[in-house]
Structure 1
Amino acid sequence: MDNNKLGTKPHYQILDGLRGIAAVIVVFFHLAEPLAASRLDNVVNHGYLAVDFFFLLSGFVIGYAYDDRWDKMTIGSFLRRRIERLQPLIVLGMTLGAIGFYFTDSTIWPLIHTVPVWKLIVVMLIGYTLIPIPLSMDIRGWEEMHPLDDVAWSLFFEYIANILYALVLRKLSNKALACFVVLAGAVLLHFAVTNPNGDVTGGWTLNAHHMRVGITRTIFPFFAGLLLSRVARPVYIKNAFLWCSLLVAVVLFMPRIGGAEHLWMNGLFEAFCIIFVFPLIVYIGAGGVVRSQTEEKICKFLGNISYPLYMTHYVLVYFYVAWVSNHKGITLSEAWPTALLTFSGVIILAYASLKLYNEPVRAWLRKKLK
C-alpha cells in the first residue's frame, strides 16, 4: 500500500509539546544522576518515568493515527512507516556513540581503550538493528544492551509494542482491550511495590530480570494509551498546555517517597503516576488547544526536537559522566557550569540532527519505502 495514500492526520499540538517537555527533563535527569550519592537523592528523582510517559503517548498517537486505517493498510506498510519514523535517529545515535567512544577517558570505564575497533564496529552495526547485545559484548561495562547509546533500550521495547499492536492487539474490541489493560496494570502495580529497588527502573540489560521489567513498563502504558485514544472524548480545560506541563514536571522532579525504610511507598507512587496521572495528563492535553502563536511555536519546536533530543543526548552525557567521575566528590553547585554547557550542546546537537539529518533522511525513506 502506498503510504502517501494514507494521508497524514493533524497533530495534537499540546501532546507534541509535552513530549518535548519530558525529553528535556530526561536530559536534566541524566545530568543530575552522576552527582547523586544514591538513587534516593537525585535532584530529578523520577526523571526515568518519562520513558513510561513516552510509551503512553506512543500508544495514544498510534491508536489515533492508525486504528481506522487498517482497511487501507497492511502490516508491512504500517511497519515501514514506523521504521521511517524511528530508525534514522537510532542509526545516528549509534554512529555518534561509536565516534565518541574512545574519547570518554574515565576511571569508571578503564577498559574502553582495550576494545578493538572491529568489536566497536560490530556493536555499532548490531545497534543499528536494535537487536540487544549479550553481556559478553558490553564494551562499556554498564551492562547495557546498547552500550553506544544507552537510551536505545526503550526503542527496542517500543518496536515490540508496535509489532504486538499490528499483529494482534489492534483487533481487540474496546472491552477486550480494557480487560487486557487492567491486567497489565495489575502486573505493573505488583512489580512496582515488590521490586527490591522500590521503583520501576530497568529494561536496559539483556537478561531475564531486565526483559521482564522492560515488558512490564511497556505493555501497560502503550496499550492504555491505545485504549484512551479509542474511548476518550475531548474535554476543554483552559491553559491545558501549562497545567499538563506542570503535572509532568511535578511527577518527574518529585523527590523519593518513603526513603530507604519504606521502598514500597515509592513503588506505589510510581505505579499511581503511570496508571492514573499520565493518562490524565494525556487526556487533558488531547482536549486542549494552543492559545497563542507563541504557545503554538513552543509546542511545535518541543515536539520536533523531542525524539532527536532523546536519541542523541546521551552521546554528550557520556563525556559529562566521565568528567564528573574524574572529579570525585564534586557537588551540584560546582558542576552546574559544565552541566549547563553540556545541556546547551545537547540542544544544539538535537536541532542539528533534526534539520541536517533526520528530516532529509526521512523524506528519502518515505520515497523509497512506498
Structure 2
Amino acid sequence: MAPTPTAPEDPTGSPSGGAPTSTRPLDPALVLPQVDGRHETLDGIRAVAAVMVLLFHVATETGDALAPGVLGGLLASMDLAVPLFFALSGVLLYRPWARAVLDGAPGPRARPYLWRRAVRVFPAYWVVAVTALLVYSREELGSLLYWGEVLTLTFPFDTDPPWLGTGPYGLGQMWSLSVEVSFYLLLPLIALALSLWARRGRTVDARGRRLMIGLALMTALAFGALVPQFYPEAREYMHAWLPRSLGLFAAGMALAVLSEWAWREPGRGGPVRRFCRTVAASPGVCWLVAGAFYVLNATPAAGGRFIGAGDIWSSGLNSATGIGFAFFVLAPAALAPRPTGDPTRLRDPRSWTGGRWMETLLRHRVCQFLARISYGVFLWQFMVLYLWRDFTGQEIFTGSFWLDALPVTLVTVLLAWATFRWVEEPSRRWSRRHTPRFVR
C-alpha cells in the first residue's frame, strides 16, 4: 500500500478539485487514486471488454462487422476491447514496480510474480485448448510440435502454420493471450530498464517524469515495430506479436505511475494531483473522447476489418486509436479515489449525480459477476460460437448477429462460470498452499 502523506502534505481540496470546504485536512484516500486492494471499477471495465470482444467475434462470423456502412464499422470497432485488456494489464501489473521506483525501494521479485501469472493463465487455457484440439484439430493430434505450440501459447510465432487465420480452429482469439503472456514474461525486464533510467532522478517528481519519458519511448518503439511488419514486405503475422502492442501496455503503465505519483507528490495541490482529481471527476468527458477514438477506428482510415489488414499508415492510425481509446476509458477509473460504501442501486437518484454514474454502472453486481468470469468468457467464446454455427448449419459470414449473439453469450457465460468455479479458483487455492520452493 502506498504510504499516506504526512499531515502538512495532505490534500485539503474537495474531491472535485475545488476550494477546500474546511481547514481540517481530508483523508488522502478520499481524494487520491486507489492504489491497493480490489479495484471494483477497473474490474467492471474488464467485464465490459469481455462482452465487447465476444460480440465482435459474433458480428464478424455473421458478416455484420464486415458489411459496409456505419453499423458495420461500429460493430467492427468492438475489437478495441483488446487494447482495453492490454492497458488493464499495464496498470494493474506494473503498479508495484512504479511504487518501488518512486520510493527508491527494491522492486518485486520476479519469480513469485511469474508463478502467479502462470497459475492464473494456463490451467483454464489448457482445458479450452485441449477441447478445441480434440474437436477441431484431430488430423494434427499426432504432431508433438502442434501440441507444444498450442499448449505453450507460442503458435503465433509459427510463420508458416497449418491453420488459416490467427490460430487453430476454435482458438483464433488466443493470439492476444499470447501477447499478454509475452508481456508478463518481459515485464520484469521492462521494469528493470525503466527503473535504471528513472532512479537517476533525485526527487520523486524527477523519477516520475523519467518514468513517463521511458513509457513514451516504449510507445514510440511500438510504432517503430510497424516498419519490419510492412517492409521490405508485409508480414501480417507480426500483428500478433508483442512489439506492435507495447504502446497499449504503456498507456496502462502510465496510469499506474500517475496514481502512485499522486500519493508522493510534494505539496497539497501539485500538477499530478490536480490532473488525477480532474480526470477522476470527469468520466463523461473522458468517455466522450474515448468514443471519438472508437468512431475514428470505425472508419476506413484505420485499416480493414480483419486483423493485420491495411498498410503501415492505417495500421499506425489503428494503433493510435487503440491507445487513445484504452487510456480515456480507463483513466477516470484508474485515477479515482477508493469508492466509499456499497455500490449504489441503479434506481437510487444519487447514482447519477456528482459524476457517480460510471462507478454505479461498473460496480453493479452484474458487472462484477462478469468481471470474475471474464477470463472464461474470453477463452470459451470461439468454441461456443463454432459449435453453435455447426449445430444450426450456418455458413461463415451468414446468419443474424442478434439471433446468434443471445445463445452464444448465454452458453459462453455458463461455461465461463463453470471454469471459474472448478478450474480457476481451485488452481489459485492450490498455488497458495503449494508454492514451489524455487519460487519462494
TM bucket normalised to smaller: 0.7 to 0.9
Alignment-mate amino acid for residue 32 of structure 1: A
Q: Name the CA distance, whole Å, in 2 between partners of 1:148 and 1:329.
A: 16
Verify: 1:64 aligned to 2:116, yes or no. Answer: no
The equivalent residue for 1:131 is 154
Please point out which of 32, 35, 51 is paired with 2:62: 35
Deviation at 1:369, TM superposition (A): 2.2
Deviation at 1:79, TM superposition (A): 0.8
Verify: 1:77 aligned to 2:77, yes or no. Answer: no
Q: Name the CA distance, whole Å, in 2 between partners of 1:282 and 1:253.
A: 17
3-state DSSP of counterpart to 2:183: helix
The equivalent residue for 1:107 is none
The equivalent residue for 1:90 is 125
Q: Name the CA distance, whole Å, in 1 between partners of 2:211 and 2:150.
A: 33
**Contact 1:187–1:216 at 8 Å: present in 2 too?**
yes
**Contact 2:380–2:412 at 8 Å: present in 1 too?**
yes
Root-mean-square deviation (Å): 3.9
Q: 1:251 to 1:40 in 2, by over 3 A?
A: farther
Q: Name the CA distance, whole Å, in 1 between partners of 2:288 and 2:405.
A: 23
The equivalent residue for 2:344 is 292
The equivalent residue for 2:321 is 273
Please point out which of 249, 257, 277 is paired with 2:299: 257
Q: Name the CA distance, whole Å, in 2 between partners of 1:269 and 1:260.
A: 5
**Contact 2:290–2:328 at 8 Å: present in 1 too?**
no
**Contact 1:317–1:342 at 8 Å: present in 2 too?**
yes
**Contact 1:18–1:244 at 8 Å: present in 2 too?**
no
The equivalent residue for 2:354 is none
Q: 1:221 to 1:260 in 2, by over 3 A?
A: closer
Q: RCO higher in 1 or 2 (8 Å CA, sep ≥ 6)?
A: 1
Alignment-mate amino acid for residue 169 of structure 1: A
Q: 1:252 to 1:98 in 2, by over 3 A?
A: farther
The equivalent residue for 2:213 is 179
Q: How does 1:187-266 map to 2 (within 5 A)?
A: 188=222, 209-211=236-238, 214-232=241-259, 233=262, 234-235=276-277, 237=280, 240=283, 256-258=298-300
**Contact 1:17–1:299 at 8 Å: present in 2 too?**
yes
3-state DSSP of counterpart to 2:78: coil
| TM-score when normalising by structure 1 | 0.74
3-state DSSP of counterpart to 1:48: helix
Query: Per-residue CA shift, 1:102-139, capped at 9, x if unaligned?
Result: xxxxxxxxxx66x15423x763454222222636653x
Query: Per-residue CA shift, 1:204-257, capped at 9, x if unaligned?
Result: xxx9542355334321111231122012444374695x8878877776587731
Q: Name the CA distance, whole Å, in 1 between partners of 2:378 and 2:181.
A: 16
3-state DSSP of counterpart to 1:142: coil
Q: Name the CA distance, whole Å, in 1 between partners of 2:250 and 2:396.
A: 43
Q: Name the CA distance, whole Å, in 2 between partners of 1:247 and 1:94.
A: 38
Query: Per-residue CA shift, 1:317-355, capped at 9, x if unaligned?
Result: 2224556884477453xx532332112111111111111
Q: 1:135 to 1:286 in 2, by over 3 A?
A: closer
The equivalent residue for 1:46 is 77
Q: Which moved more, 1:261-270 or 1:220-229?
A: 261-270
Q: Name the CA distance, whole Å, in 1 between partners of 2:295 and 2:176.
A: 21
Q: 1:182 to 1:327 in 2, by over 3 A?
A: same
Verify: 1:312 aligned to 2:380, yes or no. Answer: yes
Deviation at 1:192, TM superposition (A): 7.7
**Contact 2:303–2:314 at 8 Å: present in 1 too?**
no
Deviation at 1:14, TM superposition (A): 0.8
**Contact 2:47–2:370 at 8 Å: present in 1 too?**
yes
Query: Per-residue CA shift, 1:21-60, capped at 9, x if unaligned?
Result: 0110100000010222774644511122211221111010
**Contact 2:222–2:245 at 8 Å: present in 1 too?**
no
Return 5+ residue gaps in structure 2 as ranges.
Answer: 1-34, 199-207, 263-275, 305-309, 347-359
Q: 1:360 to 1:254 in 2, by over 3 A?
A: farther
**Contact 2:87–2:250 at 8 Å: present in 1 too?**
yes
Query: Per-residue CA shift, 1:143-181, capped at 9, x if unaligned?
Result: 434545222221222122222221243424244443343
Q: Name the CA distance, whole Å, in 1 between partners of 2:254 and 2:301.
A: 34
Q: 1:238 to 1:261 in 2, by over 3 A?
A: closer
Q: How many positions carry a matched residue from both structures?
A: 336
The equivalent residue for 1:201 is none
Deviation at 1:266, TM superposition (A): 6.0
Alignment-mate amino acid for residue 226 of structure 1: M
Alignment-mate amino acid for residue 46 of structure 1: S
Verify: 1:303 aligned to 2:403, yes or no. Answer: no
Q: 1:362 to 1:36 in 2, by over 3 A?
A: same
Q: 1:61 to 1:261 in 2, by over 3 A?
A: closer
Larger Rg: 2
Q: 1:96 to 1:254 in 2, by over 3 A?
A: farther
Q: Which moved more, 1:157-166 or 1:141-150?
A: 141-150
Q: Name the CA distance, whole Å, in 1 between partners of 2:396 and 2:129.
A: 29
Query: Per-residue CA shift, 1:281-308, capped at 9, x if unaligned?
Result: 2110123437426743234213212111
Identity over the aligned pairs, expressed in percent?
19
Please point out which of 142, 145, 170 is paired with 1:118: 142
The equivalent residue for 1:158 is 180
Q: Name the CA distance, whole Å, in 2 between partners of 1:260 and 1:165.
A: 29
